[in-house]
């Protein structure tokens, strides 16, 4: 597999003005993010709200400028484009390759435009085709996501949440992109509709040879769809590992905490859980020294308060974690209890 | 019935119906529920129709005077005539006047005399004129066949000019000045507010401070000052435009705020971000994605701004600093009703005031209804 996109030392901070006379404050949303996206994989970015995952997505797609660092896109072997260095006009052709699916299907579709025009808009902007050809392409794409041709003249309000999200997906796919960034693409949907949309995304991925960056807070969904997971905390990447490995044996205490919080459908297995989550996420503008997670970490030592761990490979595997004790800690994964055991005793 | 409907209508029917339900259609449907606003819409439309057809509707030239009939009271228009036997027939007419002398005040007063019936002709031929300035016509809605007979449905003023005709012509000036003022305000408001809201930053702050400064000034002295600075030898048309500009000098601020607010809130909407990520230019985003989503709000805000314009023009003209004598507007008409003696003897001169009240109320109700209909969250 070749690397399709890489994020190098990306940082993003906001300056908060303290009013007319107050001092300006700096809020670091992303700190020194490094990650790569391989062609054809589904990379999930997870973390609780406020950890910077959406900001990361927006910085990758250049909806927001990064404060420092690079986003490099490699459309084909050898070719390199530094997206973060391009101006508005220069980046336009690459907008065809990297597309976004939004979280809220209610607000991501222009309520004043017909579905046909919403999906045709990117084709018109990039002047790819018109007339008959445009019509065929729009209707064809909509059909692929399950919106019938009779419905293309309707306005978004005539559709349900799931249908609207499909329209949003059609808008992303109509340009034949290579990379799709899905920002909480299913979070606003009912669980049953979530499954439909996830399956649709899977099908489309194999059909069009897509690569996904899937931003989510829902580990269940991530486990279902992702090949690799990046865990973020307070604007840092704390763990980056193939999905199987991460769920099997997390190497960062924060990941363990997230996995513990996964709801378990089986009441018998729910018993022995320690439902212990200590503390709140610290305010971004007032970040702890040392390891960003030490204030909530149950394994924290004195050294964690002083030294900031870098993201590194654990025992030479594909798993990367930013914890000083990544090798030593015995952290619990989500599959630890193994498959559900039927009770013989009763 | 319900069952029949269920089985009879083919599956495709809801689709075609939904297809036609644009935002505008939805808005209209919500607006129709607001009965007061609907009635107001008709009243406003009627007033503007009167303004457009002023020359056709007004029986006399607004400047035509007659020394014989100063302060003649309203005749009223009667459609039916009764004869001695108690029977009645369709006979549109006005009653003539008989003159009496008020012994106490020692002056001549007119009394409407039911004995005299002056036949009124609909679509009466008249001197040729241009309707709305460009359609040649030589027929008026109403007229009396006897050339010298008095015809003052709403009475006459100090110089024996027909109040109804003057009111109709005044409607044209007053309503159009409101509309022109708001159009001008809207133009500046959308451009300045749009820039401030879309790009933000220092320009936004600067514009907002300027707006706050303008709005903190007492309006009447400001208008008076500006109006007083107008050269006296300007033609009627020049004064008209000058007054429009003076009114919109303050009017744009409110609209600029509304536009800026809408831009600010829309700028962060996902569908605008989506358009940016599609690679759309700023111009395309503004014209195709943003403006259509708040046009209805802007129209509602503009409608609510028109009454203020009309009132301001009326106030200025009433004080003698707005439009000047040969131009007829509601404000200049009300100037005639400035002293209590005139009011006591000729209360019909207050008719322009009644028109002002009706149109202001209607426009406010209409604007409210429009705003409610345009706001999908406000239900």
A327 domain residue, yes or no: no
pLDDT of residue A275: 55
Nearest to A95 among B273, B277, B293 (CB): B277
Share of chain A above pLDDT 70, in %: 88
pLDDT of residue A212: 92
- In this prediction, residue A342 has a pLDDT band, given cuts at 50, 70 and 90, of very low
Give the range of the structural domain holding residue A258, as residue numbers without chain letter.
251-321
pLDDT tens for A56-82 read 988 988 888 888 888 888 887 667 888
B284 with A125: Cβ contact below 8 A: yes
pLDDT tens for A89-129 read 888 888 888 999 988 888 888 888 888 989 999 998 888 88
pLDDT of residue B22: 63
Q: What is the DSSP letter of B74?
A: P
Range from A166-170, B317-321, B369-373 carrying the lowest mean pLDDT: B317-321
Nearest CA in chain B to A99: B277
- Are residues A187 and A116 part of one domain? no
A105 domain residue, yes or no: no
- Are residues A270 and A187 part of one domain? no
pLDDT tens for B63-116 read 777 777 777 788 777 777 777 777 777 777 777 777 777 777 777 777 777 777
- Are residues A214 and A158 part of one domain? no
Nearest CA in chain B to A97: B278
Residues of chain A with Cβ-Cβ distance to B284 below 8 Å are 125
- Are residues A201 and A87 part of one domain? yes
A26 domain residue, yes or no: yes
A58 domain residue, yes or no: yes
Over chain B, what is the mean pLDDT?
A: 79
| Distance from chain centroid for Cα B176 | 7
pLDDT of residue A346: 35
What CA–CA distance (Å, rounded) separates A46 from A70?
21
- Preferred mutation among B12, B18, B278, B379 to probe A, highest tally of A CBs within 10 A: B278
CATH of domain B39-52+167-374: 1.10.3720.10
- In this prediction, residue B325 has a pLDDT band, given cuts at 50, 70 and 90, of confident
pLDDT of residue A2: 82
pLDDT of residue B42: 92
- In this prediction, residue B331 has a pLDDT band, given cuts at 50, 70 and 90, of confident
Q: What is the CATH number of the domain that holds A43?
A: 3.40.50.300
Neighbours of A7 (CB within 10 A): 24
- In this prediction, residue A44 has a pLDDT band, given cuts at 50, 70 and 90, of very high
- Are residues A75 and A189 part of one domain? yes
For chain B, the structural domain boundaries read 39-52+167-374, 69-159
A100 touching B (Cβ < 8 Å): yes
pLDDT of residue B376: 56
Between residues B326 and A242, which one has the greater pLDDT? A242
Between residues B273 and B342, which one has the greater pLDDT? B273
- Are residues A267 and A182 part of one domain? no
- Are residues A93 and A2 part of one domain? yes
Residues of chain A with Cβ-Cβ distance to B278 below 8 Å are 95, 121-122, 125-126
Q: Which residues make Cβ contacts (< 8 Å) with residue B314, sequence separation at least 6?
A: B174, B329, B330, B331, B334, B356
Provide the domain count of chain A.
3
What CA–CA distance (Å, rounded) separates B174 from B363?
14
Vertex A248 angle, CA A247 and A252, to 5°: 65
Residue B264: CA atoms inside 13 Å, Cβ hemisphere, count? 13
Over chain A, what is the mean pLDDT?
A: 83
pLDDT of residue B91: 77
pLDDT at B6 over 50: no
Distance separating the N- and C-terminal Cα atoms of chain A: 51
- In this prediction, residue B289 has a pLDDT band, given cuts at 50, 70 and 90, of confident
Tell which residue, B218, B193, B207, B182, has the closest CA to residue B305.
B182
Residue with tokens 């406020």: A50
**Mean per-residue pLDDT for B328-342?**
80
**Mean per-residue pLDDT for B217-245?**
79
A344 domain residue, yes or no: no
CB A327 within 8 A of CB A317: no
Q: What is the DSSP string of B306-370?
A: HHHHHHHHHHHHHTTSSS-TTS--HHHHHHTT-SHHHHHH-GGGGHHHHHHHHHHHHHHHHHHHH
Nearest CA in chain B to A105: B270
Nearest CA in chain B to A89: B279
């Amino acid at each position: 597999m070749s690397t399709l996109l890489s994020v190098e030392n990306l940082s993003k901070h906001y300056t908060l003005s303290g009013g007319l006379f107050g001092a300006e404050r700096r809020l670091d949303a992303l700190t020194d993010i490094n990650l790569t996206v391989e062609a054809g994989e589904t990379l999930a970015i997870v973390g609780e709200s406020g950890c910077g995952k959406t900001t990361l997505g927006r910085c990758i797609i250049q909806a927001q400028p990064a404060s420092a660092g690079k986003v490099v896109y490699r459309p084909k072997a050898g070719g390199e484009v530094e997206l973060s260095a391009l101006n508005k006009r220069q980046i336009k052709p690459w907008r065809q390759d990297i597309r976004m699916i939004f979280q809220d299907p209610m607000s991501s579709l222009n309520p004043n435009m017909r579905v046909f025009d919403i999906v045709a808009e990117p084709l018109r902007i990039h002047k790819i085709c018109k007339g008959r050809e445009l019509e065929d392409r729009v209707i064809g794409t909509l059909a692929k996501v399950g919106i019938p041709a009779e419905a293309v003249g309707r306005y978004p309000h005539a559709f349900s949440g799931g249908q609207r999200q499909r329209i949003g997906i059609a808008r992303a796919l109509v340009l034949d992109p290579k990379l799709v960034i899905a920002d909480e693409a299913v979070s606003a949907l009912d669980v049953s509709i979530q499954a439909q949309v996830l399956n649709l995304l899977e099908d489309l991925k194999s059909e069009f040879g897509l690569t996904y960056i899937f931003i989510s807070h829902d580990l269940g969904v991530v486990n279902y769809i992702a090949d690799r997971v990046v865990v973020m905390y307070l604007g840092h990447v704390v763990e980056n590992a193939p999905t199987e490995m991460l769920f099997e044996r997390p190497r960062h205490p924060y990941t363990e905490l997230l996995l513990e919080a996964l709801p378990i459908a089986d009441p018998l297995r729910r018993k022995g859980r320690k439902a212990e989550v200590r503390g709140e996420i610290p305010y971004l503008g007032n970040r702890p020294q040392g390891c960003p997670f030490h204030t909530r970490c149950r394994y924290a030592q004195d050294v964690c308060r002083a030294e900031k761990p870098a993201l590194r490979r654990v025992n030479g595997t594909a798993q990367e974690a930013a914890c000083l004790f990544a090798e030593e800690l015995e952290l619990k994964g989500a599959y630890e209890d193994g498959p559900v055991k039927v009770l013989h005793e009763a | 019935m319900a069952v029949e409907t269920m089985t009879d209508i083919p599956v495709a029917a809801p689709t075609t119906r939904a297809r036609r339900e644009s935002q505008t259609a939805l808005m209209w449907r919500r607006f129709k529920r607001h009965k007061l606003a609907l009635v107001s819409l008709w009243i406003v439309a009627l007033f503007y129709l009167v303004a457009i057809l002023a020359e056709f509707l007004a029986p006399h030239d607004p400047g035509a005077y007659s020394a014989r009939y100063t302060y003649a009271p309203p005749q009223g228009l009667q459609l039916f005539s009764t004869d001695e036997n108690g029977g009645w027939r369709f006979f549109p007419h006005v009653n003539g006047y008989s003159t009496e002398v008020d012994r106490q005040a020692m002056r001549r007063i007119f009394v409407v005399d039911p004995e005299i019936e002056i036949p009124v002709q609909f679509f009466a031929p008249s001197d040729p004129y241009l309707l709305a300035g460009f359609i040649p016509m030589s027929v008026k809605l109403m007229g009396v066949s006897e050339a010298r007979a008095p015809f003052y449905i709403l009475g006459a003023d100090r110089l024996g000019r027909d109040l109804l005709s003057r009111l109709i012509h005044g409607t044209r000036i007053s309503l159009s000045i409101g509309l022109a003022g708001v159009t001008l305000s809207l133009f500046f408001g959308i451009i300045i507010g749009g820039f401030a809201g879309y790009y933000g930053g220092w320009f936004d702050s600067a514009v907002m401070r300027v707006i706050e400064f303008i709005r903190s000034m007492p309006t009447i002295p400001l208008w008076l000052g500006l109006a007083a600075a107008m050269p006296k030898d300007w033609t009627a048309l020049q004064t008209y435009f000058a007054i429009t500009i003076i009114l919109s000098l303050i009017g744009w601020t409110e609209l600029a705020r509304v536009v800026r607010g809408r831009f600010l809130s829309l700028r962060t909407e996902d569908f605008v971000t989506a358009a940016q990520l599609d690679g759309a230019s700023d111009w395309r985003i503004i014209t195709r994605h943003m403006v259509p989503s708040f046009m209805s709000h802007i129209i509602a805000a503009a409608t609510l701004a028109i009454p203020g314009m009309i009132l301001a023009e009326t106030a200025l003209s009433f004080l003698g600093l707005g439009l000047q004598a040969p131009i007829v507007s509601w404000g200049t008409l009300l100037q005639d009703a400035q002293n209590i003696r005139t009011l006591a003897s000729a209360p019909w001169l207050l008719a322009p005031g009644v028109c002002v009240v009706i149109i202001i109320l209607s426009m406010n109700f209409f604007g409210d209804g429009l705003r409610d209909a345009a706001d999908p969250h406000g239900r």
